[in-house]
Amino acid sequence: MNEDLDKRQQQLQQKLEELEAMEKEIKDREKKLKESEKKKKQILLRIAPTLWDEIARWAEEDFRSINGQIEYLLAECVKKRRHK
């Protein structure tokens, strides 16, 4: 019976180590993602007020910031262009 407990304890310890390794990997990925987000380029964009208003309304409908909406739209256009 003691052997069974020891074996089970070893299995649990191994699982714990695997979970800790997975947690470390997730934290490393999150850190890299945050670092890459900080590297975003800033640009000055001049657009017509009517276009700005349309984008603002659209962003509100999609629950995004205006900046997020513009980035989303640009990313979608790039995806479409790649698939041509």
Q: What is the pLDDT of residue 3?
A: 87
CATH number, domain of 82, equals 1.10.1220
Closest to 71 in 3D by CA, of 38, 36, 42, 32: 42
Does one domain contain both 13 and 31? yes
* pLDDT (tens place) for every residue of the chain, 84 residues total: 788 888 899 999 999 999 999 999 999 999 888 888 778 888 899 999 999 999 999 999 999 999 999 999 999 999 999 987
- At residue 20, φ and ψ (nearest 5 deg) are -65, -40
Confidence at residue 23, expressed as pLDDT on a 0 to 100 scale? 95
Q: What is the pLDDT of residue 81?
A: 92
Distance CA 14, CA 35 (A): 32
Residues 33 and 8 in one domain: yes
What is the spatial distance between Cα 5 and Cα 11, in angstroms, rounded to a whole number?
Answer: 10
pTM of this structure = 0.53
48/23 same-domain check: no
Check whether residue 11 and residue 34 sit in a common domain.
Answer: yes
pLDDT at 34: 83
Whether residues 19 and 34 fall in one domain: yes
CA quadruple 45, 79, 29, 34: dihedral, nearest 10: 10
- Structural domain of 10: 1-40
60 shares its domain with 46: yes
Task: Specify whether 14 is located in the same domain as 53.
Answer: no
